[in-house]
Amino acid sequence: MPAKDHPNIVKFHGVYYERCFVCIVMDKLDGGDLVEGLQRHLKERGQINCLDVVHVAYQMAASIHYLHQRNVAHRDVKGDNYLMDRKNMTDKQCKIVLTDFGTACTASPTDRLSSGVGTKIFWPPEFFDRDYSQKAGPDP
């Protein structure tokens, strides 16, 4: 897959193989993932006003749009795979990046995919039929 250079895609710096481990070196983001951020906010401050996370939704969409423009299907988009640079997701300066490209593949908008990959509880209906497109939807 081609190198990814987008502010909302994690920067990958290298990989090192140890006996029983694969070590991936990437940018450090101290805020945890979006699921942790949501849980922390709910516990400490209650419900999140949707207007307070528009910047997060925008960055999520920007990362997927960038990949699709380059014919890449991530295939495991979920809150756990977005990391934050700070703990407060409602901070307008909070930057998020998409990670975990273990199930990503190259796919043009007209390609049909059939692999049942990613996290099953987040699969769209098309994954169960083993007939989906780059955007995990019906025929383009």
As to burial, measured by CB atoms within 10 angstroms (0-12 exposed, 13-18 middle, 19+ buried), residue 74 is buried
- Look up the pTM and report it: 0.84
What pLDDT sits at residue 3? 54
Given the structure tokens 């998409």, which residue do they identify? 98
Query: By mean pLDDT, which of 23-27, 31-35, 38-42 is the weakest?
Result: 23-27
Domains of the chain: 12-110 (1.10.510.10)
3-state helix, strand, coil in the chain (%, to 5): 30, 20, 50
Active site residue 5: no
Which amino acid belongs to residue 41?
H
What pLDDT sits at residue 139? 43
Q: Which of 76, 85, 111, 139 is catalytic?
A: 76
